[in-house]
Structure 1
Amino acid sequence: MSFLEPLRRRVGAVLLWVEQGTVVIGCILIWAIFALILAQMFGRVLFRTGLPWADELARYLHILMVFIGIGYAHRVGAHISIDILVHMLPRVPRRVLHIIVQAAILATSIIVVMGCWMLIQRMGAQRSASLGLPVTAFVTPTLLGFGLLAVEAFCRIFLVPDDKITVEGVEVNTL
């Protein structure tokens, strides 16, 4: 047992908790979008009037769902990838390639987070048309999603040298 094992277990538990939380949030957002669009549809058909803010709110919730789910999709391997070569490689070259890919994901995530932060700083008090929400509310999910993705990539590089995270004796996500 290495000295990193207790840290790996804790990080694995936190990542599992974040993963479960993002699934719950994603389900809530899907149902909220569905309810908004349904209310908009019934309002237009039955009452001949719509909710002027429903489209904007549904769009915002969709943006939130996509960017909050980006870390989850990375964690469970749901992104599109061409991995036939990876599976043919022996263990050590596969791990090296994995570290290179995760480092690229980490670097890209950091660049996006920094760009979002600079954009949020410049936006000031601009408001959306229908809801009157600060426009920064539309950029914040991107910052959060890529922040979670950066944490996930960092953990996969430095805390998971054996290609797996173990939480309470159960293996969580392998390469």
Structure 2
Amino acid sequence: MRVIRWLNQHFEEALLTIFLIIMVLVMGYQVAMRYIFNNSLPWSEELTRYLFVWSAFLSIAYCIKHHSSIKIDQILHLLPPVAQKVLLLLSKIISLAFFSYVLRYSFNVVQSTIKSGQLTPALQIPMYFVHYAAVVGFGLAVFRILESFVRVAAKNVEEEI
């Protein structure tokens, strides 16, 4: 149970931190190889680019979990608590509908990429590994929205603002 609780609290942060460390180390190695040894690595920029793509999709769920999305709080604070709760739930329903919609189509993209058999140019890994970032990111976003939806419906609105 402790592992599940830890994963629920820190999954996105752990992966984002690991990806950032790998990106920094790989690009540092690339810079050293290029300027010190006058030799460029063909795979380093591609790996960094794909880790960045994964980081971008994972950060969607991270932002939802930490309520750091772009929003206007002033209007919300002027409303009575019941109206605040209704507005928050409405925004979460719209977000849930959007992320569920794009999740469905991200599966289609991955399936077509699997069928094509396309490989990345330098690393020669299947391209669908890169496209799975959308499935994982949007899936985690749906999960985090459902999680926050339950929190708003059951608790005080102030925790979600």
Q: Please report the TM-score for the alignment, with normalisation by the length of structure 1.
A: 0.81
2:125 maps to which of 90, 110, 133: 133
Q: Contact conserved, 2:89 with 2:153, CA < 8 A, in 1? A: no
Give the Cα–Cα distance (whole angstroms) in 1 for the partners of residues 144 and 111 of structure 2.
25
Aligned-residue offset at 1:155: 2.4
Letter in structure 2 aligned against 1:174: E
Where in structure 2 are there 5+ consecutive unaligned residues?
A: none
Within a 5 Å distance, the mapping from 1:114-153 to structure 2 comes to 114-123=104-113, 124=115, 125-153=117-145
Within a 5 Å distance, the mapping from 1:20-169 to structure 2 comes to 20-123=10-113, 124=115, 125-158=117-150, 160-163=152-155
Give the Cα–Cα distance (whole angstroms) in 2 for the partners of residues 103 and 15 of structure 1.
25
Give the Cα–Cα distance (whole angstroms) in 2 for the partners of residues 29 and 157 of structure 1.
29
After superposition, the CA RMSD in angstroms is 2.2
Give deviations 1:30-82, integer Å, cap 9, x for gaps. Answer: 11100011011000001111110000000111111121121111111122212
Identity of aligned residues (%): 23
The SS at the match of 1:109 is helix
Aligned-residue offset at 1:15: 6.9
Give deviations 1:127-165, integer Å, cap 9, x for gaps. Answer: 11111111111111111111111111122224542446x
Give the Cα–Cα distance (whole angstroms) in 1 for the partners of residues 110 and 119 of structure 2.
13
| Paired residues, number | 157
The SS at the match of 1:134 is coil
Q: Measured at CA, do residues 160 and 17 of structure 1 come closer, stay the same or move farther in structure 2, by a change above 3 Å?
A: farther
Q: Measured at CA, do residues 16 and 101 of structure 1 come closer, stay the same or move farther in structure 2, by a change above 3 Å?
A: farther
Query: Between Structure 1 and Structure 2, which shows a larger proportion of helix residues?
Result: 2
Query: Between Structure 1 and Structure 2, which shows a larger proportion of strand residues?
Result: 1
Give deviations 1:82-133, integer Å, cap 9, x for gaps. Answer: 2211121111111111111101111111111111101111112111111111
Give the Cα–Cα distance (whole angstroms) in 1 for the partners of residues 80 and 8 of structure 2.
31
Q: Please report the TM-score for the alignment, with normalisation by the length of structure 2.
A: 0.88
Give the Cα–Cα distance (whole angstroms) in 2 for the partners of residues 14 and 83 of structure 1.
32
Q: Contact conserved, 2:152 with 2:160, CA < 8 A, in 1? A: no
Where in structure 1 are there 5+ consecutive unaligned residues?
A: 1-9, 165-172
User: Which aligned runs of 4 or more in structure 1 are off by greater than 4 angstroms?
Assistant: 13-16
